[in-house]
Amino acid sequence: MRFADIPGKQELKTQFINLVNNDKLPHAMLFVGPEGSGKLAMAIALANYLQCQDKQPEGLCGNCSACAKSLKYIHPDIHFAFPCGKIEKKKREDVISADFLKTWRQHLIKTPYLSLQDWKEAMGDASSVPNINVKECKDILRKLGLQTFEDGYKVQIIWQAQFLGKDGNRLLKLIEEPTPDTILIVIAENEGMLLNTIVSRCQIFKVKKFNDAEIKEYLNAQGTAVVPEQTYFLANGDMGKAIKCQNESIAEFSDMVLNWMRAAWQKHPDTILPFSDQLAGLSRDQRNQFLEYTIHFFRQYLIYLYTKDHSKIRLSDKEKDVVLKLVNFIDMDKARQLLILVEKGIFLLNRNISAKIMFTNYTIEIGSILKPTAA
Ligand SMILES: [Zn+2]
């Protein structure tokens, strides 16, 4: 990961390059920004640049021995800590990031734009709450207390640092009295999720969400020649989501929403069950995307009902046709109820509820929202 691999954010990149080159990089930094905004990618690009032995004006050289390691995520002086899940035959309090390092590297090589949910699934533990435990904090202190391997900086990146909890206070001494060659980068969505004692001692850098042009630039570089408009709507600045949209077919989602509403409206097992089967047969990512799409769709739908103005809504012409087909059946109040229901569905799906049962129940519930009295 190098600065050039991240689209846009030029101001922040230049700021980091100048801080490094003027030897002014703070010893404790906090990167905050929404999910998918590239905080981790930026932290890695900065760490790699810091280690490069032949720094160029635009970023790392890519050819020195440090770059050879850092670009493969195996630089011995760049350390990662992240929330960990369960490991069989190991006590939860003994599991630390080192146990998952191989999986972590594999995932970073695939993409650095990973969500917490992606990471939980990669660890094979999608449903439980991961953590960064006391043993991890001790390990961080131990590693940073060691001599550097390569005569440069020791960099510690803590991803999803909100999982530190109170144990994070063990790191305060490190933040307050850092050794000259130690750099700590703490990553979280916002400051409010972290211990005040840590936030107040870090210099904060805000990483803004990506705009549509930056998403396009990245996906084009990844080999997607034409990015469907829906991708931008669904991603809403989250690069991880945008990448997933490219991997899955989202073109038919608006038809599926329409069919879902029809099946619910008919309130008959012959239409409800096959449709629930179809939804349950999607992959987990597709199901999430479909529900996120449905939320996006009904939010735009509500905007349309409020404004009656086609130009105000972020939907394609085909989707606007679907809106017009639904306006006679779904008023503002019903659309709001649907939104609440579907939002709950995303939460439930990520907690390993049977998709088939959930979609069957939902279709029945949608039916009673659409037609409150027996038809
Ligand atoms: Zn280099």
Pairing of strands 154-158, 203-206: unpaired
CA of 50 to the centre of ligand 1 (A): 9
Q: Cα separation of 297 and 230, whole Å?
A: 10
CA of 35 to the centre of ligand 1 (A): 29
Instruction: Say which range, 216-225, 262-271, 343-352, has the weakest mean pLDDT.
Output: 343-352
**Same domain for 35 and 127?**
yes
Assess whether pLDDT exceeds 60 at residue 333. yes
Residue 106: what pLDDT?
94
Greater confidence, 23 or 289?
Answer: 23
Greater confidence, 343 or 127?
Answer: 343
**Same domain for 40 and 175?**
yes
- Domain residues for 229? 214-247
Q: Cα separation of 280 and 356, whole Å?
A: 5
Residue 309: what pLDDT?
85
Greater confidence, 228 or 306?
Answer: 306
Assess whether pLDDT exceeds 70 at residue 56. yes
The domain that contains 338 carries what CATH number?
A: 1.20.272
Assess whether pLDDT exceeds 70 at residue 225. yes
**Same domain for 16 and 30?**
yes
**Same domain for 185 and 289?**
no
Position 276 confidence tier, pLDDT thresholds 50, 70, 90: confident
Kindly state the DSSP code that residue 56 receives in the 8-state scheme.
B
CA of 184 to the centre of ligand 1 (A): 21
**Same domain for 8 and 143?**
yes
**Same domain for 38 and 161?**
yes
Position 238 confidence tier, pLDDT thresholds 50, 70, 90: very high
Give me the number of domains the chain comprises. Answer: 3
Q: DSSP string spanning 177-232?
A: S--TTEEEEEEES-GGGS-HHHHTTSEEEE-PPPPHHHHHHHHHHTT-SS--HHHH
Domain boundary, last residue among 247, 269, 295:
247
Pick from 28, 321, 295: nearest CA to 187: 28
**Same domain for 299 and 162?**
no
**Same domain for 73 and 159?**
yes
**Same domain for 60 and 152?**
yes
Residue 64: what pLDDT?
96
CA of 373 to the centre of ligand 1 (A): 69
Say which residues have a Cβ less than 8 Å from residue 359's Cβ, sequence separation at least 6.
275, 276, 279, 280
**Same domain for 198 and 222?**
no
Cα 220–Cα 221–Cα 226 angle in degrees, nearest 5: 15
Assess whether pLDDT exceeds 90 at residue 289. no
**Same domain for 7 and 152?**
yes
Instruction: Say which range, 1-5, 52-56, 343-347, has the weakest mean pLDDT.
Output: 343-347
CA of 273 to the centre of ligand 1 (A): 58
CA of 171 to the centre of ligand 1 (A): 30
- Does some domain include residue 243? yes
**Same domain for 197 and 53?**
yes
- Does some domain include residue 375? no
Average pLDDT taken over every residue of the chain: 89
Q: Cα separation of 42 and 1, whole Å?
A: 8
CA of 264 to the centre of ligand 1 (A): 59
Position 251 confidence tier, pLDDT thresholds 50, 70, 90: low
CA of 206 to the centre of ligand 1 (A): 26
Position 200 confidence tier, pLDDT thresholds 50, 70, 90: very high
Residue 240: what pLDDT?
93
Pick from 195, 170, 197, 171: nearest CA to 184: 171
Domain boundary, last residue among 197, 223, 247:
247
- Cα–Cα distances (Å) from 45 to 158, 185, 283, 308, in that order, read 14, 12, 32, 46
CA of 64 to the centre of ligand 1 (A): 4
